[in-house]
Amino acid sequence: MVFVGLGLHIAAGGAFELRTVVAMTVRVGFWTGQAVALSRSFEYGRGRRAGADEAVSS
């Protein structure tokens, strides 16, 4: 949301520093990567638990 707000501010002719845009881009990339990694981690964990439960109940 803040990144979109900055983009609108810049598009409207507002003042900005390039380092702010670069820093926000790096942050968005980092947190997107964290979210994807965590999501994949949960998917992998569910698959292993399901296999483990089947082995125990057999």
- pLDDT tens, position by position, 3-58: 999 999 999 999 999 999 999 999 999 999 999 999 998 877 766 655 555 555 55
Q: How many whole angstroms separate alpha carbon 43 and alpha carbon 51?
A: 13
- pLDDT value for 43: 78
Q: Sign of torsion, CA 30 34 37 43?
A: negative
End-to-end CA gap in the chain? 49
Is the distance from CB of 10 to CB of 16 less than 8 angstroms? yes
Domain ranges of the chain: 25-58
Amino acid at 42: F
- pLDDT value for 50: 54
Is residue 2 predicted with pLDDT exceeding 70? Answer: yes
- Does pTM surpass 0.85? no
